[in-house]
Amino acid sequence: MQPHPLRTTVIGSYPMPCWLECATTQLDRFGEADREELREDAVVAAVHDQCAVGLDVITDGEQSRFDFNLSFYGYLDGICLEAAPPRRFGPPAHDQRGRHEVLAELSAPRGLGAVEEFRRLCKVAPAGPVLKASVPGPYTLSGRLIANQQYPDRYALTEALLPIVRRELEHLVEAGCQELAVDEPSMSCYGATEDVPRLVDIFNRTVESVAGRCRLSTHLCFGNYKGHPVGRRSYTALFPEFTQLAVDEIHVEMANREFAELEIIETIARDKDVAVGIIDVKSYYIETPEDVVERTRRCLQYVPAEKLALAPDCGLGQTARWAARKKLASLVAGVQCVRDS
């Protein structure tokens, strides 16, 4: 059950300030104290934008990550980070993100960095909004690693990453995190051709030590690279099995899919809360509050208000900041209209 009806929330990422994006191209010019100042100032900016529109749940905007999950590989021992992807020019696609060779046993003796991110968020956030942290799940994290003799396929890589991710989740809860997302978009992108019960088992073993100790959610979208999805955009193959995920809330992408399969949220809400993406992060159409009212009411035909949260489809990190601000403002204003009606 939601802490209160019709919560407004976000997934995780938020656009970097222009000065931070510029700085990331020349980080070698900065000392570590300078880099920490850059990170903290960027989190202040992301928190300001989210609080200014009145969101119920906010994040640090993942300002210290270059990508939703790619930055985590820098914390892994046992891999050789690819210096540059094999294709650098032409239309953007996921093959431009690069893949990393596994050389030895995978480990993360310094953790994955999410605890430091959460502590930075706590330092700068005002009282009021719920503070949310997010970590990619092991199946998604395995996607940019190249299988080898020791780890011969994606599932072997996933099993090696699982205890690393689980330990990070435990440390987040110990640090005081009460709202925690374990995001597995690769499961929704590729689940239609995979063993769905096996994916559920992987997820549940990942979160088993923190389930019941915080509010857990997961984000299931179909990818976003420069505005393009990567997976077959259908949830049919995943449900009802995915209602067995050990979470309090499941987030699904609907706006960019023209609300196809919206009825699936009724299935989810029998066992979980559901967060529905009603703001399209891949489009520069700025939703109006009236759009949000109409979309929220459509969702309420399937899910009661006390089990429903409203959100963007995905992280806003690849949306221009001016548009992200306007979209979130419309989200909050429209949901408030529904609450007041």
Domain ranges across the chain: 7-340
| Whole-number Å distance between alpha carbons of 171 and 184 | 19
pLDDT in tens, 167-185: 999 999 999 999 999 999 9
pLDDT, averaged across the chain: 92
Amino acid of residue 331: L
| Whole-number Å distance between alpha carbons of 330 and 292 | 7
| Whole-number Å distance between alpha carbons of 276 and 187 | 18
- Neighbouring residues of 285: CB distance < 8 A, sequence distance ≥ 6: none
Q: Which residue shows structure tokens 């088992």? A: 201
Which pLDDT value is given to residue 102?
94
List the single range of 67-71, 209-213, 240-244 with lowest mean pLDDT: 67-71
Q: Which overall architecture, per CATH, does domain 7-340 show?
A: Alpha-Beta Barrel (3.20)
Determine contact, residues 276/311, Cβ cutoff 8 Å.
Answer: yes
Q: What would the mean pLDDT of 291-308 be, rounded to a whole number?
A: 98
Q: Which of 87-96, 230-239, 283-292 has the highest mean pLDDT?
A: 283-292
Which pLDDT value is given to residue 82?
81
Higher-pLDDT residue of 80 and 46 is 46
| Whole-number Å distance between alpha carbons of 184 and 247 | 12
For residue 29, the number of C-alpha atoms closer than 13 Å in the C-beta half-sphere is 6
Which pLDDT value is given to residue 66?
61
β-sheet bridge partners, residue 215: 179
List the single range of 237-241, 305-309, 335-339 with lowest mean pLDDT: 237-241
Which pLDDT value is given to residue 70?
60
Backbone torsion region of residue 258, taken as left when φ is above 0, otherwise alpha when ψ lies between -120 and 50, otherwise beta: left
- Sign, CA dihedral 281-283-284-290, equals negative
- Edge-first strand order for the sheet with 308-312 is 7-8, 308-312, 273-279, 249-253, 215-220, 179-183, 130-136, 57-58
Q: Which residue shows structure tokens 């920490």? A: 36
- Sign, CA dihedral 97-190-216-52, equals positive
Higher-pLDDT residue of 292 and 233 is 292
pLDDT over 80 at 93, yes or no? no
β-sheet bridge partners, residue 279: 312
- Name the band, by pLDDT with cuts 50, 70 and 90, for residue 68: very low
List the single range of 91-95, 185-189, 218-222, 239-243 with lowest mean pLDDT: 91-95
